[in-house]
Structure 1
Amino acid sequence: MGNLNAIGLQADKANDLAEKLNVLLANYSIFYQNTRGYHWNIKGDKFFELHVKFEELYDDLRLKIDEIAERILTLGESPAHNYSAYAAVSLIKESDKVSDGVEAVKGILESFKTLIILQRELLDLSGDADDEGTNALMSDYIREQEKLVWMYSAFLK
C-alpha cells in the first residue's frame, strides 16, 4: 500500500498519467487560444454563424482545460500553467491571424484530430492504471469531439 497515491493508484502510473495529461493540457491551451483568435478575426459571409460557433467552442475548451488541470492535481501532480511550457510540448501549434472561415475550420479539425489521438493514448494508460476517473473523462471527450468533427466537416462540404 505504500506504493499507492492518495486515490489508491500506483504512484508511478499516476505520475505517468499526469505527465501525459500535462501534454494534453498544453494542446488544449494552444487550441483554446487559436479558437479565440478565430473568433476575434473571422470575416466574410459566414461571420455571424462562425463567430458564435467559435465562441461556443472556446467556452467548452476553457472548461475542459480546468477539468484536465484538476485531474492532474487529483493524481497528485501539478499542472503546467504557462504558455512557454505549453509551446514546448504541444503538437498543436499557434495559428497566425486567421480571418478566413474555411481555414479556421480546417485548423479546428486538425486540432480535434490531435486531441482525439492523445486522448485515446490516455485511455490506454488509464485503463492499465485502473484509473477510472481519467478513463471516463477521456471517453466523454472523445465521444463529444467525434461528433464535432462530423459537424465541422459537414460545414466544409
Structure 2
Amino acid sequence: MTDTNAIGLNAGSASQLADKLNTLLANYQIFYMNVRGYHWNVKGQQFFELHTKFEEYYTDLLTKVDEVAERILTLGFQPVHAYSDYVTLSSIEEAKNVHDGEACVRGIVKGYQTLIELQRELLSVASDADDEGTASLASDYIREQEKTVWMLNAYLG
C-alpha cells in the first residue's frame, strides 16, 4: 500500500496542505464578504471610484475562493463550507458598518496583508512537499496581492 494520494503527493503532507488551504479559504471567505460590504456601503467623495474598485476586488476574491476550494479537493480533502467554520478559522475579522472610503481601503490593505502572510506559509509547506500545484497557486496570489497592497498604500498617501 502506498502512502501517496491520487496526484502522487505524500498523504501526510497533503493533509497538512489541506489544513492550511482550509484556513486560507476561511480567510478568503471573510475577506470577500468584507470587501462586498465595503462596495455596498462606501460613501463620500470617492464613492464612484471606490465602489467600482471594490467590485473588481471582490470579483477576484470570489474566483480565488473557488480555486482554493478546488485545490483542497484535488489534494483529496473536503473544503470547509459553513460560515461558522470560516469565522472560527479566519484571522481576518468581519468588518461591520464601515462606510468611510479611507477606512474601507485600510481594511482591504489589512486583509491582503493577512492573505499574503498565510500564502507565504502555504508556499513554504507546499515547496517542502514538492507540491508544485499549490506552490504555484500561492506564488501567483502573492505576486498579485503585493502589487495591490503597494497601489492601495499609494492611494492612501
What is the root-mean-square deviation in Å for CA atoms of aligned residues?
A: 0.6
- Structure 1: which 5+ runs fail to align? none
The whole-number CA distance in structure 1 between the counterparts of 2:11 and 2:147 is 34
Paired position in structure 1 for 2:147: 147
What is the rounded CA distance, in whole Å, between the counterparts of 1:35 and 1:116 in structure 2? Answer: 16
Q: TM-score, normalised by structure 1?
A: 0.99
Map of 1:62-141 to 2, 5 A cutoff? 62-141=62-141
What's the offset of the Cα at 1:67? 0.1
Separation in 2, partners of 1:49, 1:104: 13
How far 1:82 moved relative to its partner?
Answer: 1.1
Question: How far apart, in 1, do the equivalents of 2:11 and 2:125 lie?
Answer: 13
Q: Which residue of 1 aligns with 2:27?
A: 27
CA distance in 2, matches of 1:76, 1:97: 39
Identity among equivalent pairs (%): 62
**Number of aligned residue pairs:** 157
Gaps (5+ residues) in structure 2?
A: none
How do 1:5-84 residues align onto structure 2 when only pairs under 5 Å count? 5-84=5-84
Question: What is the alpha-carbon distance in structure 1 between the residues aligned to residue 69 and residue 140 of structure 2?
Answer: 16
Counterpart secondary structure, 1:102: helix
User: In 2, Cα distance between the equivalents of 1:52 and 1:98?
Assistant: 17
The TM-score with structure 2 as length reference comes to: 0.99
